[in-house]
Amino acid sequence: MGRVNETFVLFLHIQIIFWCWIPSIISIKISPCARWNTTGEIVAGLGGRGNNLDQLLDPEGIFIHRQTNTLYVSDTGNNRIQIFTLNQLSSMGTTVIFNVTYPTKLYVDDDNDGQTIYVTVRNEDRIKKWVKGASDGVQVGGECLMCESVWVDKEKNVYMTSVMKHCVYKWSPLTDITTVAAGREMGQGSGSDSLDSPEGIYVDNISGTVYVADYANHRIQKWLKDALNGTTVAGLSTGNQGSDAESLSYPTSVWVDDETQVVYVADSDNNRIQRWLPNAFIGDTVAGGA
């Protein structure tokens, strides 16, 4: 047993050296082993809880538009989408979408005429999009029962998670057809071919791989394009929850660094953000956890 443990520890040390040292040589933008300030900073909602321009009410989703250095916020309780310019002195936001009933997550895509905003409208069980200057949104794709998250790839395919149908849908604008990209429609389960109440998603624009925060299975699943089964890249593949380094508890969101394939997870019930290196057995906490 001691020999096995020594081998495992050696493997972990080799993995850490590889993922932390090699990126510095090839100029990776974010090191897989980067450390952040443990004290958070408020960048939106400095005025506290409310409906003024410097306030938010129960926000549920954010999106950072890198080209304009702008933070988009689903101000859920105020039924609006707000934008805030990052790294500026003003704390005031600007409302870009009014009167959208219970918006949750959002995705901002660049078109020839400017930014197009896709929003999950949970109370209407659908995804709606607003082109620049539009006063109202239009539905994309079919019904998405208790729609929780949205992503758009480079071909303008729209991905959406249905909590109640336990799958991720993919809608093609070319064919106007919606197909299942991950999980089984109405096929709730903990097997590799199933999801249970999926929430956040991330789609690799190069490979088409879909990463899913498999909420009630306490894991992050990776589905290759057109695959029938997923593989676990964070948490336990068995679907068991926990608070130790190898476990997750009700993950809600996932983000993947395209350069390093490092996975970041909002581990909601453990009040922390976890980072998982490729092929790692355990994650480490980069924010929260106290």
What pLDDT, in 10s, does the model give residues 175-198? Answer: 999 999 999 999 999 999 999 999
| 124 shares its domain with 220 | no
Cβ–Cβ under 8 Å, residues 240 and 259: no
| 110 shares its domain with 160 | no
- pLDDT computed for residue 26 by the predictor: 43
Using DSSP's 3-state secondary structure scheme, residue 255 falls into: strand
- pLDDT computed for residue 27 by the predictor: 46
| 160 shares its domain with 278 | yes
Last residue of a domain, one of 134, 158, 191: 134
User: What are 84-87's contacts with CB under 8 Å, separation 24+?
Assistant: 84/43, 84/44, 86/43
| Cα 201 to Cα 220: distance, rounded to the nearest angstrom | 9
| Cα 60 to Cα 271: distance, rounded to the nearest angstrom | 15
| 277 shares its domain with 220 | yes
Last residue of a domain, one of 80, 110, 134: 134
Look at strands 263-267 and 272-276 and give their pairing.
antiparallel
- pLDDT computed for residue 32 by the predictor: 74
φ and ψ of 13, to 5 deg: -65, -40
Selected residue with higher pLDDT from 163 and 23: 163
DSSP secondary structure of 161-196: EETTTTEEEEEETTTTEEEEEEE-TT---SSTT--S
Q: Cβ–Cβ contacts within 10 Å for residue 48, how many?
A: 11
CATH code for position 289: 2.120.10.30
Query: Considering only 19-28, 148-157, 189-198, 270-279, which range has the smallest mean pLDDT?
Result: 19-28
| 147 shares its domain with 250 | yes
| 165 shares its domain with 127 | no
- pLDDT computed for residue 28 by the predictor: 52
- pLDDT computed for residue 186 by the predictor: 96
Selected residue with higher pLDDT from 276 and 112: 276
| 129 shares its domain with 257 | no
Query: Considering only 8-12, 253-257, 262-266, which range has the smallest mean pLDDT?
Result: 8-12
The per-residue pLDDT of the chain, averaged, comes to 89
259 falls in which pLDDT band (50, 70, 90)? confident
Identify the DSSP state of 219.
E
Last residue of a domain, one of 134, 168, 191: 134
| 147 shares its domain with 286 | yes
| 76 shares its domain with 155 | no
CATH code for position 49: 2.40.10.500
- pLDDT computed for residue 13 by the predictor: 46
What pLDDT, in 10s, does the model give residues 80-111? Answer: 999 999 887 678 999 999 989 999 999 999 87
| 199 shares its domain with 114 | no
What pLDDT, in 10s, does the model give residues 2-54? Answer: 544 554 444 444 455 444 544 444 445 667 777 777 678 888 998 889 999 99
- pLDDT computed for residue 7 by the predictor: 47
| 92 shares its domain with 157 | no
| Cα 18 to Cα 10: distance, rounded to the nearest angstrom | 12
pTM: 0.87
- pLDDT computed for residue 290 by the predictor: 64
255: domain range?
141-290
Helix ranges (H only) for the chain are 2-25
- Look at the chain and report how many structural domains it folds into: 3
| 163 shares its domain with 182 | yes
